[in-house]
């Protein structure tokens, strides 16, 4: 439920209501707006008599939440979530557009990773991506270097100062992966692995949740809700292409309109991964540029110096010169987009 406080409510009154709700077993979120304060409260509404809350000092009104994604939705928390990292980088809201780049898989030779990391850094990215645990359709494909790969990633961070984002595939391994990384990635095939969502929801580490191959927007936000519900509020959403009837020329279909849709429904940051969405490197640059114009908060791309020899996803990885060329352009697009004011009338639904 949403408890709207009166404009003249005092801080004491606000605290009092908040504590009452916490005492009733609710999770709360206090949003101070310019005019008034709103307390979002999620829990079992059968445990509380609405009237008894409504009669508390400072309370103006109680609204029930109709969105099924109570914590991920804007109804209860209108302001954008901004995720802040120790090195000053932030994601979401009005933060600068971020870039996550790197190889699909971390391979045995760490020098290959370091070479990529240097280029990723040089191009202007903030995050190094790379998979140590690889979800692979076939058991006969390369399954990842596991913890050894994470150690290479940590060393690459040491060398470059890049933040590390890497995939976690299982609830048991989550704490270990969290030790090495700055962002935990939950992959598309695990979007509804609810035990994993619960596990990363209990960690104090940002999570990037990728949209499932055929996940509806509602299911996507409810998967994020599973994480938020456990107490971890640092969640980013990542559109990475959906499965449709045609995969001849693109691996999946990039659903770019979902960016403004998600931003309207939710306060969480939205990242776009055109590498997995399209599956072909010649499509990355135009879709990266389009991503910026869609209003996304960041971009994730795959980069590899010799994609034909990559252990996974070679066809969709940018070569190093392509990555640098794309980044040079992208910076201009980001700067241009920042200057472009969108008149308010355009947001009318």
What residues between 194 and 233 interact with its own copies by CB under 8 A?
194-196, 213-214, 216-219, 222-223, 225-226, 229
- Binding of its own copies at residue 308 (CB under 8 A)? no
- Binding of its own copies at residue 248 (CB under 8 A)? yes
Give the one residue of 242, 268, 299, 301 binding its own copies; rule: CB under 8 A.
242
* Distances, alpha carbon 278 to alpha carbons 230, 255, 295, 320, in Å: 33, 10, 19, 18
List 28's β-bridge partners, or say none.
41
Give the interface segment with its own copies, choosing from 5-13, 50-58, 145-153, 292-300 (CB under 8 A).
292-300
How far apart CA 93 and CA 233 sit, in angstroms, is 14
Half-sphere exposure of 337 (CA within 13 A, CB side): 20
Give the one residue of 35, 158, 308, 348 binding its own copies; rule: CB under 8 A.
348
- Binding of its own copies at residue 259 (CB under 8 A)? yes
Separation of CA 76 from chain center: 19
Count of residues for the chain? 349
Min CB(32)–its own copies separation in Å: 26
Min CB(141)–its own copies separation in Å: 9
Min CB(163)–its own copies separation in Å: 25
Min CB(262)–its own copies separation in Å: 9
DSSP structural state of residue 68: S
Q: Quick one: 56 or 295, whose CB is closer to its own copies?
A: 295
Give the footprint of its own copies on residues 63-122 (CB under 8 A): 68-70
The number of residues that bind its own copies (CB under 8 A) is 89
Q: Quick one: 38 or 283, whose CB is closer to its own copies?
A: 283
How far apart CA 312 and CA 308 sit, in angstroms, is 9
Give the one residue of 36, 56, 89, 319 binding its own copies; rule: CB under 8 A.
319
Give the footprint of its own copies on residues 6-65 (CB under 8 A): none
Min CB(61)–its own copies separation in Å: 23
List 128's β-bridge partners, or say none.
101, 164
One character per residue 118-157, x = contact with its own copies (rule: CB under 8 A): -----------------xxxxxx--x--------------
Kindly state the tokens that stand for 230: 């456990």
- Binding of its own copies at residue 264 (CB under 8 A)? yes
CB-based contacts of 147-155 (< 8 A; 24+ apart in sequence): 147/176, 149/105, 149/106, 150/176, 150/177, 150/180, 150/181, 151/180, 152/106, 152/110, 152/113, 153/106, 153/113, 153/128, 153/180, 153/181, 154/180, 155/110, 155/114
Give the one residue of 34, 94, 158, 246 binding its own copies; rule: CB under 8 A.
246
- Binding of its own copies at residue 260 (CB under 8 A)? yes
- 133 torsion bin: left (phi>0), alpha (psi -120 to 50), beta (else): beta
Give the footprint of its own copies on residues 324-343 (CB under 8 A): 325-326, 328-329, 332-333, 336, 340, 342-343
The dihedral built from the CA positions of residue 301, 73, 84 and 151, taken in this order, carries a sign that is negative
């Amino acid at each position: 439920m949403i408890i709207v406080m009166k404009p003249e409510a005092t801080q004491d009154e606000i605290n009092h209501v908040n504590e009452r709700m916490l005492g009733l077993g609710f999770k709360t979120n206090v949003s101070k707006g310019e005019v008034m304060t709103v307390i979002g409260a999620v829990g079992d509404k059968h445990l509380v008599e609405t009237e008894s809350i409504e009669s508390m000092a400072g309370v103006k009104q109680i609204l029930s939440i109709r969105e099924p994604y109570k914590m991920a939705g804007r109804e209860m928390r209108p302001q954008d979530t901004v995720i802040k990292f120790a090195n000053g980088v932030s994601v979401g809201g009005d933060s600068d557009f971020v870039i996550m780049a790197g190889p699909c898989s971390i391979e045995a030779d760490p020098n290959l990773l370091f070479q990529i990391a240097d280029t990723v850094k040089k191009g202007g990215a903030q995050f190094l991506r790379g998979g140590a645990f690889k979800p692979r359709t076939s058991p006969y494909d390369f399954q990842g270097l596991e913890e050894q790969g994470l150690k290479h990633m940590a060393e690459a961070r040491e060398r470059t100062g890049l933040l590390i984002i890497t995939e976690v595939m299982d609830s048991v391994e989550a704490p270990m992966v969290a030790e090495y990384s700055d962002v935990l990635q939950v992959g598309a095939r695990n979007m509804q692995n609810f035990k994993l969502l619960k596990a990363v929801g209990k960690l104090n580490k940002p999570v990037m949740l990728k949209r499932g191959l055929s996940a509806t927007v509602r299911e996507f936000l409810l998967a994020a809700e599973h994480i938020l519900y456990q107490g971890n509020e640092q969640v980013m959403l990542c559109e990475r292409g959906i499965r449709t009837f045609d995969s001849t020329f693109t691996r999946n279909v990039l659903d770019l309109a979902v960016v403004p849709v998600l931003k309207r429904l939710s306060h969480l940051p939205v990242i776009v991964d055109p590498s997995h969405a399209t599956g072909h490197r010649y499509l990355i640059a135009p879709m990266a540029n389009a991503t910026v114009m869609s209003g996304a908060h960041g971009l994730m791309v795959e980069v590899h110096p010799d994609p034909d020899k990559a252990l996974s996803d070679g066809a969709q990885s940018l070569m190093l010169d392509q990555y640098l060329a794309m980044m040079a352009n992208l910076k201009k697009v980001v700067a241009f987009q920042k200057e472009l004011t969108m008149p308010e009338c355009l947001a009318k639904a």
